[in-house]
Structure 1
Amino acid sequence: MHDGSLRRWIKGFLQEGVLGVRRSATNRRYSIDLKVAAVVDYQDNGLSRQEVLHKYNIRSNSQLTDWVIRYNSGKLLAPKGAGKRVRKMGRKVSYDEKIKIVQWALDHDSDYQVTAKEFDVSYNRVYDWVRKYQATGNWEVLKDRRGKKPRPKGDALTREEQLEEENRQLKAKVRRLEVERAFAKKLREIRNREVDDPQNTKRFRN
């Protein structure tokens, strides 16, 4: 058994129990909306790779990397027959301009491709900005949250913060050990039940 497969099974068990193990052993299809949301959370909203993988139940780093590359090249949301689109992903777009772009898109029946060409930005970015605004009704969601200053290295944690961090790490360790033990036990039970059915056990082999 590959280490990657074992980690994927444990992750599935932690999230969904035995059903999660079965699902993790099969291929999963992700919607376009989920892919875009994952990329935006990673690139624009400050989530780490591991946080994004856990939040969207993504199987591997390589999948997220592929989505990021396709998103930034304007390919992730390409509608069929849409033709060539502008791909200026590196252009800096201000907060005020994002508002203007979203307003223009909404005034033109949410035609993302036309809006992208009008403002020389990608289809993906227009789609994401409009979607976020419509979901919240708040223009603040369009602000760029990248580049937030981390706590300076010289700033020591307070005693309360230290205790909270130690407690968080301890709980995470205990939880991980509990999950690993429960998973190993459940996997043995599954194999014992299905030992007489080779068709089922094939799904748990690599």
Structure 2
Amino acid sequence: MGRKGSRYTLEEKLFYIGLLQDGTANPHQIESQYGVKHDQVKQWLERYQIRGVDGLKRTTKQQYSKEFKLGVIQEYLAGDTSYSELTRKYEVSNVGVISQWVSRYTSGKLLDSSSTRRRPRLKNGRKTTKLERIEIAEWTIAHEKHYTEAANHFEVSYGQVYSWVNKYEKDGADGLADRRGKAKEDNGHLSELEKKDLEIKRLKARLEYVSTEAAILKKLQEIERKDAPNKNIKPFKHSPKK
């Protein structure tokens, strides 16, 4: 009934799923007897369990939003999963699609919701010292992980910023040492002066971000006070008390 290397009908998929569910055969036995890859059969079963028959129907070429792609990429970069697992979990057409997203993301290219339109690249990566990488990671964390803003501010790539923040949160400053080839001069221990300088910059970055948020909140308060008499708007409940 199965035909290796060909497309399968909905009826065929349900047939193989039925063999699994009633215990007649396991995925490897189905592959041996019918020529259907065991991974494919398991994928059909997972989709059927999640979405029922709709999960087995053919669809037109899927378009994925930028937000969806970013979520999948970040889950992969966080570790503890593989392209194959993510492909099954999110019903992406094949592992090559996710691999391409990750490649574009880590090389600093923009993710696009459409696979046909071309977009300008983000800033290219550049060489940095360990001290710079620590400063960039701390600045980004202080600014609620606004990676694009950090990339523009320090003139590095989005992928570099994301990678440095991830390593810094996992292994601290030591995680940002350049271990390619021979040890670089900047990979030694930071001096007390350098540590103090970094701490000052981190605190300044956080203060700058919080001050900006406070200014926006204050502006929102002013707008609400002006509009409240005419529109019967209740004051913003999260506004800070004076």
TM-score by length of 2: 0.40
Higher relative contact order (CA 8 A, sep 6+): 1
Greater C-alpha radius of gyration:
2
TM-score by length of 1: 0.45
